[in-house]
């Protein structure tokens, strides 16, 4: 091999070695593996490191946070109410999910309260205006009912005034009517509010829109109100009352959250009513926290169905919650003859037992038959009264 070839090969090898060296070094010195980067001063870098450290600490704290355990509702052993001390409930059994913290309840403050007490009521109907600032508290769900510091309750303040409830005379016979599922249809709701006697109590569906608008209209016409709470029927989920239905298989915490969402849908009602949730209301352990919540918020409870489970009444009696139950479903069969027969049956129960509650829908035929029937009651010695006048106070 000639000298020139040796020199040529040596030179090429040397150049190749240098190229490989600089390539490797450039990759080693690049913090992002050869991608473009910028150099900043030490102060900016320190700020960036502190910010990154704060972010990492926050992520670590979130990751280490212990999840909240939800206790599943058990039906193995009924839990019974023992005693009520202020805002704290003492229960038997091991479930402590129902204990309420002894905190002062934040309630709504009304700016510039009226100087004249007459301004607090509708002169025409005698019903108080809503909401009463002493009877509501602010929550993440909206305005929830509460018992005022002076002890007044929604079930008393929002009730339609009626002298019969203050007269202890067994010879007075009364009937009350609850018209259900209002608010979902404007024509149906308008018809019920405008045509029914003011003594008829109206109940609204929690899924209806603009409920507080309906409240104002109904109370302006003299009606006291109740709010329906969807509860689990025996044929659930084929018959599903909606996304906030109280279910016997859910924990007490979840059911109470659902109840609060429902209760915040409107203001100005005297209590809640269970229309067809017989499965839920048959479980004392599931009903207890719900009925206790109603008691401490100054509301009454009604089972609309005449064959309602005994469990709900037993719980109401145990905790001394005012309780109502329907005696007759008046329009189970939607015909003039059938409705008239049901109204006659309601009369007979009232004459025999002293009082009776009928339950019906707000459909036009039902409203028409009820309106005609109510005009004939005085001749029969029966008084039509709002539901609040027939409260059963378990002893």
Check if the beta carbon of residue 369 is closer than 8 Å to that of residue 336: yes
Cα distance between residue 110 and residue 299, in whole Å: 22
Query: Does the pLDDT of residue 69 top 50, yes or no?
Result: no
Check if the beta carbon of residue 135 is closer than 8 Å to that of residue 289: no
Query: Does the pLDDT of residue 82 top 50, yes or no?
Result: no
| pLDDT > 90 in the chain, percent | 61
Residues 203, 205, 210, 211, Cα dihedral to 10°? 30
- Looking at residue 14, its pLDDT comes to 79
pLDDT digits (tens, 9 = 90+) for 292-305: 999 999 999 999 99
The residue ranges of every structural domain in the chain are 81-111+119-390
Cα distance between residue 129 and residue 251, in whole Å: 36
Q: Which has more pLDDT, 395 or 84?
A: 395
Q: Which has more pLDDT, 117 or 380?
A: 380
Q: Which has more pLDDT, 119 or 380?
A: 380
- Looking at residue 119, its pLDDT comes to 35
- Looking at residue 359, its pLDDT comes to 98
Question: What's the CATH number for 81-111+119-390?
Answer: 3.20.20.370
Cα distance between residue 215 and residue 206, in whole Å: 12
Query: Does the pLDDT of residue 221 top 70, yes or no?
Result: yes
Average pLDDT over residues 167-177: 83
Query: Does the pLDDT of residue 182 top 90, yes or no?
Result: yes
Cα distances (angstroms) measured from residue 130 to each of 118, 192, 224, 225 = 14, 21, 12, 12
C-alpha closest to that of 189 among 209, 168, 214 = 214
- Looking at residue 44, its pLDDT comes to 59
Report the chain's mean pLDDT, rounded to a whole number: 80
C-alpha closest to that of 155 among 294, 306, 261 = 294
Beta pairing partners, 203: 226
Classify residue 42 by burial, with Cβ atoms within 10 Å: 0-12, 13-18, 19+. exposed
Residues 288, 290, 295, 301, Cα dihedral to 10°? -100
Q: 162 pLDDT band (50/70/90 cuts)?
A: confident
Is pTM beyond 0.75 here?
A: no
Which residues fall within 8 angstroms of residue 263, CB to CB, at 6 or more apart? 141, 144, 145, 227, 272, 297, 299
- Looking at residue 54, its pLDDT comes to 67
Query: Does the pLDDT of residue 386 top 90, yes or no?
Result: yes
3-state secondary structure of 89: strand
- Looking at residue 55, its pLDDT comes to 66
- Looking at residue 47, its pLDDT comes to 63
Cα distance between residue 360 and residue 345, in whole Å: 14
Q: 213 pLDDT band (50/70/90 cuts)?
A: very high
């Amino acid at each position: 091999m000639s000298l020139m070839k040796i020199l040529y090969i040596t030179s090429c090898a040397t150049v190749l070695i240098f190229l490989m060296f600089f390539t490797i070094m450039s990759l080693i010195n690049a913090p992002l593996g050869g991608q473009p980067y910028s150099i900043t001063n030490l102060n900016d870098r320190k700020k960036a490191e502190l910010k990154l450290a704060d972010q990492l600490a926050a992520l670590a704290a979130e990751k280490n946070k212990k999840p909240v355990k939800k206790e599943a509702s058990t039906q193995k052993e009924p839990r019974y109410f023992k005693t009520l001390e202020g805002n704290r409930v003492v229960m038997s059994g091991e479930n402590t999910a129902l204990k309420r913290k002894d905190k002062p309840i934040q309630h709504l403050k009304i700016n510039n309260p009226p100087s004249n007490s007459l301004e607090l009521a509708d002169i025409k109907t005698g019903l108080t205006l809503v909401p009463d600032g002493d009877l509501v508290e602010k929550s993440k769900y909206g305005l929830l009912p509460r018992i005022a510091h002076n002890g007044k309750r929604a079930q008393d303040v929002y009730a339609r005034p009626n002298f019969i409830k203050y007269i202890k005379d067994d010879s007075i016979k009364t009937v009350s009517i609850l018209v259900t599922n209002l608010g979902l249809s404007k024509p149906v709701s308008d018809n019920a509010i405008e045509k029914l006697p003011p003594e008829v109590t109206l109940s609204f569906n929690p899924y209806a829109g603009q409920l507080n608008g309906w409240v104002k209209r109904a109370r302006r016409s003299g009606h006291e109100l109740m709010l329906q709470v969807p509860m689990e029927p025996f044929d659930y989920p084929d018959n599903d009352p909606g996304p906030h239905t109280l279910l016997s298989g859910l924990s007490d915490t979840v059911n109470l959250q659902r109840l609060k969402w429902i209760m915040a849908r409107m203001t100005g009602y005297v209590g809640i009513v269970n229309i067809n949730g017989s499965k839920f209301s048959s479980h004392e352990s599931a009903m207890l926290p719900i009925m206790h919540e109603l008691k401490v918020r100054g509301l009454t409870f009604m089972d609309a169905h005449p064959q309602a489970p005994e469990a709900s009444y037993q719980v109401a009696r145990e905790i001394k919650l005012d309780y109502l139950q329907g005696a007759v479903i008046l329009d189970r069969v939607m015909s003039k003859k059938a409705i008239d027969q049901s109204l006659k049956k309601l009369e007979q129960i009232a004459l025999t037992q002293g009082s009776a509650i009928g339950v019906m829908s707000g459909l036009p035929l039902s409203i028409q038959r009820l309106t005609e029937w109510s005009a004939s009651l005085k001749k029969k010695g029966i008084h039509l009264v709002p539901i609040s006048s027939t409260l059963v106070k378990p002893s």
